[in-house]
Amino acid sequence: MKNKVARDIPDDILAATQRQVFNGVDYGHPVTQRVAPKVRATTGGDKIVASIDEVVTKTVADGMTISFHHHFREGDYVFNQVMRSIIDHGYQNLTLAPSSLTNVMNDIVVEAIQKGVVTNITSSGMRGTLGDAVSHGLLAQPVIFRSHGNRARAIEHGEIKIDVAFLGVPNADDMGNANGMDGDAAFGSLGYALIDAQYADTLVLITDTMKPYPNTPASIKQTQVDYIVKVDAVGDPEKIGSGATRFTKDPKELKIAKTVNDVIVNSAYFKDGFSFQTGSGGAALAVTRFLRQAMLDHQIKASFALGGITKPTIDLLNEGLVARVMDVQDFDKGAAASMKGNRDQQEIDASWYADPANKGAMVDKLDVAILSALEVDTHFNVNVMSGSDGIIRGAIGGHQDAAMAKLTIISAPLVRGRIATIVPDVTTVITPGDAIDVVVTEVGIAINPKRHDLIDQLSNVPGLPVYTIEALQQKAEAIVGKPKPLAFTDRVVALAEYRDGTLIDVIKAVKD
Amino acid sequence: MEIKQTAIAGTLESSDVQIMLSQSHDGVTFDLVSDVAKQFDDAIKATITQVLAAYDVHNVLVKVVDKGALDMVIRARAITAVQRALDLADEPNWEVL
């Protein structure tokens, strides 16, 4: 059955997964029923467990759903230690439901799939050897990709029922009060993990730093925690976040960043009290720098910056140009380190950040979002999931969620090497064109034709060439040539949900 | 024209292509590795074949290591490689160029 973005979702998939097809970005006001976790009462004497092996045998059983967070990113030691124990104990048929999967987790997940330990996966994304293996059909059941907001929604509604959450934390006390701000492996906001802490039947904390009781601020509370395991190290501080942020010197990225800034500044949204979200790429960081100057020049201050946070955004906070930073994760050490001492840098959970099915998420109040893309098509649909070879190599992250902003800007080069970014049809639709307002490339911008207001505001800005999206696509094709279409089999290896849980696209196994 | 010596042009940098031509007796054969082979293998071969035909070269082994080069780059590297292979590097074939 074809959905609203003209993707054919196979009927057998719809029947097997009990899903609806994507039918528009407006969530409406449905009343839903949340689930609640099981609670094993304790006064705390039995919470400390000697080893990961012991806690795994205490908590895991065949067929369970287990979860992790990805706040340690490429410096994660917890995921591999827990999965090693689970594989070695021979558990079978587990569903793996982490907030996302980073490269450092790839090899052990592939091994777990090969041994039948993991038979289902839901994640924000995957890449590298794991994405490659899944795209070649390693996993019998299709992977389900969900945005950060959608994951929160799915957990709240029991679509993801977490039996055991294994959450690495850089500090905890002996009752389980923990935060992400102190310790050698501090990463700042625990945003994605807070949902697991709230909804998992059994919550295991793994830490390398025991704090005196009571440990505050307690992002994760003792009322939620079943067991605590002390290990030597939970993460590699050098790989958790990037170090000092360097602004790009790439002239193409700078041109794109300056153009993004021109779009924002000349839009009606650039006024005192506006709000914004930027990503972590080179161009996004440069946008922050241009935006800072524009805010100073026009004496405009922002009410909040949202999402994944970097040091340049914290600098705006300290400078008084941004009143609040609403922080679901920290991309670099500067952002992670500042949370502890700054009460205006508010830790928010994934539901507060981006869940469409709650009583109001922060993305609903967002004015400007600057997002990236692997591909954008002439319907403004965006792919951030499958590479130019059709292989899974990305993550939804908060893309679908932040695209709810009033002004959603995609910043992307026209071409990358011989691969066009602006294409007739994206390989995989992740964020629908209805949610995208402006596409910015180094040669100029394209405005979604349904946004007459933006066309009026941006059409006569000096130095801001406006093209149709079709014209941008043709410029790209003139440079790189016309590619052969990718060849896929009929086998569905992954489902891409929209943030409301409907199916926006499926990913098929590559043919090669 | 027959290939006089094995010749190479281009580098392994991103957006470049390295083309090596060596003697052969059974037509034009390709050994192609490319980051964008799925989308552009035929296009890369067609461009190089065109250049070879312009120089009247019909027996050659073509080794291509492509790093996502644009068509104009592939054409330029192919011309350079064939001029070197035919020992014409000092006397460019202007009609072909």
Tell me the per-residue pLDDT of A197-208, one tens digit each, with 9 for 90 and over: 999 999 999 999
Q: Is residue B27 exposed (0-12), middle (13-18) or buried (19+ Cβ within 10 Å)?
A: exposed
Which alpha helices (DSSP H) does A236-373 contain, by range?
A: 237-240, 251-265, 282-298, 311-318, 333-338, 350-354
3-class state of residue A248 by DSSP = coil
Residue A213 forms part of a structural domain: yes
Cα–Cα nearest to A112, from A92, A142, A133, A140: A92
Asked if residue A10 lies in contact with residue A507, where contact means CB atoms within 8 angstroms, the answer is no
- The verdict on A145 and A272 lying in the same domain is no
For the residues A273-277, what does the mean pLDDT come to?
A: 98
Taking only the tens place, the pLDDT of each residue in A378-399 is: 999 999 999 999 999 999 999 9
* B15 neighbourhood in chain A, CB within 8 Å: 417-418
Residue A308's pLDDT is what?
Answer: 92
Q: Which residue has the tokens 């950060």?
A: A148
CATH number for the domain spanning A199: value is: 3.40.1080.10
The pLDDT of residue A505 is above 80: yes
A280-284, A419-423, A438-442: the lowest-pLDDT one: A280-284
Q: How confident is the model at residue A288 (pLDDT cuts 50, 70, 90)?
A: very high
Average pLDDT of chain A to the nearest whole number: 96
Asked if B38's CB is within 8 angstroms of A389's CB, the reply is yes
* B71 neighbourhood in chain A, CB within 8 Å: 481
- The verdict on A230 and A293 lying in the same domain is no
For residue A437, the distance in angstroms to the closest alpha carbon of chain B comes to 29
Would you tell me the crossing angle of helices A311-318 and A282-298 to the nearest 10 degrees? 20
- The verdict on A53 and A169 lying in the same domain is yes
The pLDDT of residue A242 is above 80: no
Structure-block tokens of residue A486: 């990718």
Q: Look up residue A9 and give its DSSP letter.
A: -
Residue A240's pLDDT is what?
Answer: 87
Other C-beta atoms closer than 10 Å to the C-beta of A125 total: 25
Q: Does A478 touch chain B (CB under 8 A)?
A: no
Residue A241's pLDDT is what?
Answer: 78
Give the length of chain A: 512
Helix count and strand count (H, E) for chain B: 2, 4
Distance from C-alpha of A184 to C-alpha of A186, rounded to nearest angstrom: 6
- The verdict on A156 and A197 lying in the same domain is yes
Residue A249's pLDDT is what?
Answer: 87
- The verdict on A224 and A137 lying in the same domain is yes
The pLDDT of residue A243 is above 70: no
For the residues A287-293, what does the mean pLDDT come to?
A: 94
For the residues A122-131, what does the mean pLDDT come to?
A: 97
The pLDDT of residue A113 is above 60: yes
Structure-block tokens of residue A395: 């993550």
Residue A420 forms part of a structural domain: yes
- The verdict on A234 and A261 lying in the same domain is no
Q: How confident is the model at residue A284 (pLDDT cuts 50, 70, 90)?
A: confident
Nearest CB to A483; choose among B39, B67, B69:
B39
For B54, half-sphere exposure in the C-beta direction (CA atoms, 13 angstrom radius) is: 18
Asked if residue A262 lies in contact with residue A295, where contact means CB atoms within 8 angstroms, the answer is no
Asked if A417's CB is within 8 angstroms of B36's CB, the reply is yes
The pLDDT of residue A244 is above 60: no
Helix (H) or strand (E) holding A328: strand A322-330
Q: Which residue has the tokens 């930073």?
A: A325
Q: Which residues contact A106 (CB under 8 A, 6 or more apart)?
A: A126, A127, A128, A129, A130
Asked if A486's CB is within 8 angstroms of B39's CB, the reply is yes
Residue A245's pLDDT is what?
Answer: 58
For residue A423, the distance in angstroms to the closest alpha carbon of chain B comes to 13
Residue A27 forms part of a structural domain: no
Q: How confident is the model at residue B91 (pLDDT cuts 50, 70, 90)?
A: confident
* A389 neighbourhood in chain B, CB within 8 Å: 38-39
Asked if B40's CB is within 8 angstroms of A417's CB, the reply is no
CA end-to-end distance (rounded Å), chain A: 27
- The verdict on A236 and A366 lying in the same domain is no
What strand order describes the sheet that includes A422-423?
A382-383, A375-377, A422-423
- The verdict on A321 and A463 lying in the same domain is yes
For the residues A293-312, what does the mean pLDDT come to?
A: 96
Residue A504 forms part of a structural domain: no
Residue A358 forms part of a structural domain: yes
Q: Which of A179, A210, A240 is the last residue of a domain?
A: A240
Q: Which of A184, A212, A240 is the last residue of a domain?
A: A240
For the residues A375-380, what does the mean pLDDT come to?
A: 98
Q: Does A250 touch chain B (CB under 8 A)?
A: no
Q: Do β-strands A394-395 and A125-126 pair in parallel, antiparallel, or remain unpaired?
A: antiparallel
Distance from C-alpha of A228 to C-alpha of A191, rounded to nearest angstrom: 20
Residue A27's pLDDT is what?
Answer: 96
Question: At CB < 8 Å, which residues of chain B contact A?
Answer: 14-15, 35-36, 38-43, 67-71
Asked if residue A309 lies in contact with residue A337, where contact means CB atoms within 8 angstroms, the answer is no
Distance from C-alpha of A277 to C-alpha of A311, rounded to nearest angstrom: 13
Which alpha helices (DSSP H) does A157-247 contain, by range?
A: 193-199, 237-240
CA end-to-end distance (rounded Å), chain B: 17
Q: Which of residues 135-164 of A touch B (CB under 8 A)?
A: none
Asked if residue B85 lies in contact with residue B5, where contact means CB atoms within 8 angstroms, the answer is yes
The CATH topology of domain B7-85 is Ribosomal Protein S5; domain 2 (3.30.230)
Other C-beta atoms closer than 10 Å to the C-beta of B45 total: 17
Distance from C-alpha of A494 to C-alpha of A505, rounded to nearest angstrom: 9
Asked if A512's CB is within 8 angstroms of B38's CB, the reply is yes
Task: Find the domain containing A77 and state its range.
Answer: 48-240
DSSP string of A332-359?
BHHHHHHGGG-TTEEE--HHHHH-TTSS
Residue A1 forms part of a structural domain: no
The pLDDT of residue A281 is above 80: no
Give the length of chain B: 97
Q: Look up residue B63 and give its DSSP letter.
A: E
Residue A211 forms part of a structural domain: yes
Q: Look up residue A178 and give its DSSP letter.
A: B
For the residues A223-229, what does the mean pLDDT come to?
A: 98
- The verdict on A452 and A332 lying in the same domain is yes
- The verdict on A177 and A298 lying in the same domain is no
Residue A132 forms part of a structural domain: yes
Distance from C-alpha of A102 to C-alpha of A331, rounded to nearest angstrom: 14
For the residues A455-459, what does the mean pLDDT come to?
A: 97
Asked if A417's CB is within 8 angstroms of B42's CB, the reply is no
Q: Which of residues 412-451 of A touch B (CB under 8 A)?
A: 417-419
Asked if residue B82 lies in contact with residue B64, where contact means CB atoms within 8 angstroms, the answer is no
Would you tell me the crossing angle of helices B71-85 and B37-54 to the nearest 10 degrees? 40
Interface mutation target, options B12, B16, B39, B72, chain A, most CBs of A under 10 Å:
B39
Taking only the tens place, the pLDDT of each residue in A252-267 is: 999 999 999 999 999 9
Residue B87's pLDDT is what?
Answer: 92
- The verdict on A215 and A264 lying in the same domain is no
Q: Does A334 touch chain B (CB under 8 A)?
A: no
Q: Is the dihedral of CA A333, A334, A336, A341 positive or negative?
A: positive
- The verdict on A165 and A219 lying in the same domain is yes
Nearest CB to A419; choose among B36, B41, B71:
B36
